[in-house]
Amino acid sequence: MTETVIKPDIGSMNIEELQAFFASIGEPKFRAKQLFSAYAAGKRIDEITNFSNALRAKLAESVEYRLPEIEQKQVSRLDGTVKYLFKLVDGEYVESVLMKYAHGNTICVSSQVGCRMGCAFCASTIGGKVRDLTPSEIYGQVCAAQRDSGERIGGIVMMGIGEPLDNLDNVLKFLRLVNDENGLNIGYRHISLSTCGVADKIYELKKADLPITLSISLHAATDEARSAVMPVNRKYPLDTLLTACKDYFDSTSRRISFEYTLLYGQNDKLEDAARLASLLRKYFPGKTPVHINLIRLNPVKERSFATPDDSRAYAFCAELERLGMNATLRRRLGKDIDAACGQLRRKRETT
Ligand code: SAH
């Protein structure tokens, strides 16, 4: 019988867990903070120079060190957006996008290799889900990108490959790691988590009580239209989802953001805007505590959806505003560098 030895994944550990780990291998407690800050700095084991050669060699053979490696990097000539293709220790790939805004740098990270949610317009789900990312792999995308860019990353959006609420335990661990003052110290208020609408996990997320922003990928205002493009809606229809959102808002007072990808001819007519406004009003009456983020579809080669032109997109946004909603049309960053989620990984897997 062969025995598989499970090596400890030390990049997923917080300071207390690292202290226990180092104690277990006969090392002093202060190694925990040294390791934690080395991982946050995006260093490989052989670069942790405040550890002896012997300790580095011992770690290299006895632990999992899952810091992603930059396999490919594209920089937008238009706006400086950087797209990373990261290679994971088992040879899988994920993507992250570093966006530069006047108020600071924000990174979009992946939470799974692939995705099992099946949204009809999305490239990330085409081959299904391969596996969940570990906390260290989600966190490591931020650490490696910050090291590479040489500039502080102050914000995170969980809008890369994968469905974060389908990997909630690891995502919660990641959020606590990235917020830790011994490392990157990124404030929860600068972190958004985007979900296709796994309603029962929204209640669990609420219980974690972290003041992050919740974004819901809505994309349609009727069950019929939503189920046609997002299979998750058959399990958690709009009423179930929006009831969960309302509960989340009522107990956290955090404004919810609704993403709405404009699909030409399918959900981008002015009457769709009116339906969207009245749907959200029903659950969030009064001074609307919600924000609608309109996204122009990034066409995906394997899919047949089309993008509305800018004037149609602006008209949709204006209609929502006229109806008293708080809406913005998302700026397009990195148009020249495959910025739509999942497209770079797919290219790599299919060539
Ligand atoms: N699984 C999560 C997060 C990843 S997707 C979620 O569904 O929210 C991040 C956002 O990009 C989602 O709103 C998603 O619906 C949207 N998206 C996916 N494919 C897209 C495409 N081709 N063009 C524009 N937006 C897309």
Mutate to test the pocket of ligand 1, among 295, 300, 332 (most ligand atoms within 8 A of CB): 295
pLDDT attached to residue 114: 97
**Cα 130 from Cα 114, distance rounded (Å):** 6
Residue having the nearest C-alpha atom to atom 15 of ligand 1: 217
**Cα 319 from Cα 334, distance rounded (Å):** 27
Q: Tokens in use for 174?
A: 């990641």
- Active-site positions read 95, 341
DSSP characters for 26-77? T--TTHHHHHHHHHHTT--GGG-TTS-HHHHHHHHHHSB----EEEEEEE-T
On whether the CB atoms of residues 303 and 349 are closer than 8 A, the answer is no
Mutate to test the pocket of ligand 1, among 97, 112, 119, 245 (most ligand atoms within 8 A of CB): 119
pLDDT attached to residue 283: 94
Residue 109 CA, ligand 1 centroid: distance in Å: 12
Residue having the nearest C-alpha atom to atom 1 of ligand 1: 163
Residue 171 CA, ligand 1 centroid: distance in Å: 18
- As a whole number of Å, the CA-based R_g of the chain is 21
Pocket of ligand 1 (CB under 6 A): 119, 121-122, 159, 163, 194-196, 217, 259, 261, 295, 297-298, 300, 340-341
Domains in the chain, please, with CATH?
A: 10-62 (1.10.150.530), 69-349 (3.20.20.70)
pLDDT attached to residue 340: 59
Q: What is the pTM of this model?
A: 0.95
Q: Tokens in use for 8?
A: 């400890």
Residue having the nearest C-alpha atom to atom 24 of ligand 1: 297
**Cα 177 from Cα 37, distance rounded (Å):** 11
Listed in sequence order, the residues at least 6 apart from 50 whose beta carbon sits closer than 8 Å to its beta carbon are 34
- Which amino acid does the sequence have at 26? G
Residue 200 CA, ligand 1 centroid: distance in Å: 20
- One digit per residue, pLDDT tens: the chain, 351 residues? 566 778 999 999 999 999 999 999 999 999 999 999 999 999 999 999 999 999 999 999 999 999 999 999 999 998 899 999 999 999 999 999 999 988 899 999 999 999 999 999 999 999 999 999 999 999 999 999 999 999 999 999 999 999 999 999 999 999 999 999 999 999 999 999 999 999 999 999 999 999 999 999 999 999 999 999 999 999 999 999 999 999 999 999 898 999 999 999 999 999 999 999 999 999 998 766 799 999 999 888 778 899 999 999 999 999 999 999 999 998 777 777 766 556 667 666 655
pLDDT attached to residue 299: 84
Residue having the nearest C-alpha atom to atom 11 of ligand 1: 159
Instruction: Pick the atom of ligand 1 nearest to 158's CA.
Output: 3
Residue having the nearest C-alpha atom to atom 18 of ligand 1: 122
Residue having the nearest C-alpha atom to atom 2 of ligand 1: 195
Mutate to test the pocket of ligand 1, among 163, 341, 346 (most ligand atoms within 8 A of CB): 341
**Cα 130 from Cα 319, distance rounded (Å):** 40
On whether the CB atoms of residues 284 and 249 are closer than 8 A, the answer is yes
Q: At what angle do helices 310-322 and 270-283 cross, to 10 degrees?
A: 40
Residue 5 CA, ligand 1 centroid: distance in Å: 37
The backbone region for 212, taken as left when phi is positive above 0, alpha when psi lies in -120 to 50, beta otherwise, is beta
